[in-house]
Amino acid sequence: MQGAACRSDTMDSRLLHDLNAALPRDGAQQSVLHEPEDLMLYEYDGSVELARPDGVVFPRTATQVVEIVKIANRHNVSLIGRGAGTGLSGGALARRGGIIVSFARMNQILEVDTANQRARVQPGVVNADLSLNAGGPHTLAYGVTTNHVLAIEVVLPTGEIVHLGSSALDPPGYDLAGLFVGSEGTFGLITEITVKLTRLPETIKTLLAAFDSVDDATETVVEITARGITPAACEMMDGWTIRAVEDYVHAGFPLDSAAILLIEVDGLQEAAESQAAQVAEVCRLHRAREVRVAKDSRERDLLWKGRKNAFGAVGRLSPTYYTQDGVIPRTKLPQTLRRISDIGRQYGFEIGNIFHAGDGNLHPIILFDARDKQQFQNAVAAAGDIIAFCVEVGGAITGEHGVGMEKDHLMPLLFSEADMALMQRVRDAFNPAQMLNPGKIFPSKSCGEIHVRPQHTGSGSRSRA
């Protein structure tokens, strides 16, 4: 089993002593965890991966992060940055042991400058407190994290603090802040972030369109964007998932439809209304049997409640499920969904589909029982086949969940050795000894063996999106 086999089981007492000295207790809370029962909470994130760290530390300031880095260098241990630990690719797990640096207590919004549309925040601030598009439903119109991050403060593996980017527009020099976003904790530990604030739209129109065939729904998505309309969100759910959700949330989704689209347009009132009318027309052209516009915020919230609780709904139906994340050109949606359905039949798995259709970001959900070793292997194999097909049609191995330790072995599907060697040289410029988040992103051998996924023994649903 990867992870556990490659590290010591207890934290070195001198290391523990140094960490405790640098991070005194925080009131009633410990700032350093090292007991096995505490570490169990940090051996997983939202993915199907597992790896237990040797310790977890909770800094409150950048100065404490610098101290942690210096101690880690002295003791030759690796560090893994962790935010809320909700990632879906094992990015925040200690794949090769080491100390997790949890930013859960660096969670302050330091400054909100509405006039200049900027906010300065600590890295542990969660989405519920400051809505920042990591990916997800509103990516189509609003972009992903890199489109909202302007500047960062970083502690490098040397212990130096650097400031990258600027809250002013178009700073000169290399876009190193952009380079850090998406580096999955392999370049440095981020201790402060300046983000761009986006004004809420004047009007939001939310439409639900129901179809009798998946192809009609996917072709509708292709035509909406081909007409130059960029919805704020364009989400799709297939028939199996609709029924799972409706049974749980009662959002009013038509139970006998093969697929639904949840489409949102926003902006100034006249523009939003005109776009909503055009979207409805395209849906009907593609044989939508029902197009419903939410009358008020209560109806809108109910439709979104259905979408957002879909993964919870699926979790009621299977001991485990595995959410995949692939991205394809949206024109390839019809054939890709057909292929996913074939893969499900081939392996004997139910595969539900709920995804960000507008940007071709798929989330097939494979239902299986992780207690059955063969099923676990087959689920991983089915997921690999789906991702290989995404690449074959011109897509990529991840749309928003990242590579982490889940998909490092799939990187060669997309990149040549020369491509990956260049990326590794960039990583080495910041993190030459791989003391930060080792064993992530690039295909690796650990302990002389190819990585084998640890098997989950728990019975809960593991992965959501």
Ligand X SMILES: Cc1cc2nc3c(=O)[nH]c(=O)nc-3n(C[C@H](O)[C@H](O)[C@H](O)COP(=O)(O)OP(=O)(O)OC[C@H]3O[C@@H](n4cnc5c(N)ncnc54)[C@H](O)[C@@H]3O)c2cc1C
Residues 257-316 contacting ligand X, CB under 6 A = 311
Size of the site for ligand X (CB under 6 A): 28
The span from the CA of 261 to the CA of 307, in Å, is 10
Q: Which of 10, 76, 86, 297 binds ligand X (CB under 6 A)?
A: 86
Residues 323-362 that bind ligand X (CB under 6 A): none
DSSP 359: G
The runs of H, that is alpha helices, within 76-233 are 139-142, 176-180, 214-226
Q: H or E stretch including 261?
A: strand 259-267
Query: What amino acid is encoded at 353 in this protein?
Result: N
Among 53, 55, 59, 87, which residue sits at the site for ligand X (rule: CB under 6 A)? 87
> 129 vs 449, which CB is nearer to ligand X?
129
Give the interface segment with ligand X, choosing from 50-58, 74-82, 269-277, 425-433 (CB under 6 A): 74-82
Binds ligand X (CB under 6 A): choice among 134, 197, 302, 317: 134
Beta carbon of residue 52, minimum distance to ligand X (angstroms, whole number) = 16
Q: Is residue 321 part of the contact set for ligand X (CB under 6 A)?
A: no
Q: Based on CB atoms, which residue is closest to ligand X, 258 or 365?
A: 365
Binding test (CB under 6 A) with ligand X, winner from 82, 96, 120, 456:
82
**Could you say which residues in the range 42-61 bind ligand X, by CB under 6 A?**
45-46
C-beta closer to ligand X: residue 293 or 420: 420
Q: Which stretch binds ligand X (CB under 6 A): 23-31, 49-57, 87-95, 265-273?
A: 87-95
Q: What are phi and psi of 214, to 5 degrees?
A: -60, -40
Please, what is the minimum distance in Å from the beta carbon of residue 166 to ligand X? Answer: 19
365, 322 contact by CB (below 8 A)? yes
Name the one residue in this structure whose structure tokens are 């965890």: 33
State both tokens at 184. 């999955």
**Residue with smaller CB distance to ligand X, 344 or 402:** 402
Q: What is the 3-state secondary structure (H, E, C) of 393-414?
A: CCCECCCCCCCCCCCHHHHHHH
Q: Are 42 and 56 in contact (CB under 8 A)?
A: yes
The span of 79-87, 207-215, 230-238, 277-285 binding ligand X (CB under 6 A) equals 79-87
Q: Under a CB-based contact definition with an 8 Å cutoff, are residues 104 and 15 in contact?
A: no
* 185 contacts ligand X (rule: CB under 6 A): yes
Question: Which residues neighbour 372 within 8 Å (Cβ) at sequence distance 6 or greater?
Answer: none
- Cα–Cα dist 398/413, whole Å: 12
Find the residue with minimal CB distance to ligand X. Answer: 83
214 binds ligand X (CB under 6 A): no
Entry field: residues in the chain: 465
Burial 109-122 (b: 16+ CB within 10 A, else e): eeeeeeeeebbbbb
To ligand X, the closest distance from the beta carbon of 306 in angstroms equals: 14
Shortest Cβ 449–ligand X spacing (Å): 23
Cα-flanking dihedrals φ and ψ of residue 357, to 5°?
Answer: -65, -35
Contact flag: residue 464 with ligand X (CB under 6 A): yes
Rounded CA-CA distance 419/240 in Å is: 39
Q: How many CB atoms lie within 10 A of CB 86?
A: 13
Does position 136 interact with ligand X (CB under 6 A)? The reply is yes
x/- letters, 375..404, toward ligand X (CB under 6 A) = -------------------------xx---
Output the smallest distance, CB 45 to ligand X, in A: 5
> In whole angstroms, how close is the CB of 36 to ligand X at the nearest point?
21
Phi-psi region of 173 (alpha: psi -120 to 50; beta: other; left: phi over 0): left
With left for phi above 0 and alpha for psi between -120 and 50, is residue 364 left, alpha or beta? beta
Residues between 401 and 460 that touch ligand X (CB under 6 A): 401, 437
CB-nearer residue toward ligand X: 162 or 271:
162
Single out the residue of 60, 75, 85, 331 in contact with ligand X (rule: CB under 6 A). Answer: 85
Which residue lies nearer to ligand X by CB, 61 or 346?
Answer: 61
Write out the H or E segment, with its range, that includes residue 162: strand 161-165
Q: Which of 22, 88, 258, 303 binds ligand X (CB under 6 A)?
A: 88
Which C-beta is closer to ligand X: that of 185 or that of 395?
185
Q: Strand 99-102 and strand 79-82: pairing?
A: parallel
CA-CA distance, 229 to 213, in Å (whole number)?
A: 23
> CA 260 to CA 383: how far, in whole Å?
23
CA distance 363 to 379: 14
- The footprint of ligand X on residues 217-236 (CB under 6 A) is none
Nearer to ligand X, 49 or 215 (CB): 49
Distance of closest approach, residue 338 Cβ to ligand X, in angstroms: 24
Smallest separation, CB 312 to ligand X (Å)? 8
Q: Distance between CA atoms of 372 and 460, rounded to whole angstroms?
A: 14
Which residue of 84, 197, 388, 411 would you call a contact of ligand X, by CB under 6 A?
A: 84
Residues contributing to the site for ligand X (CB under 6 A): 45-46, 80-88, 91-92, 103, 123, 134-136, 184-185, 189-190, 311, 400-401, 437, 464-465
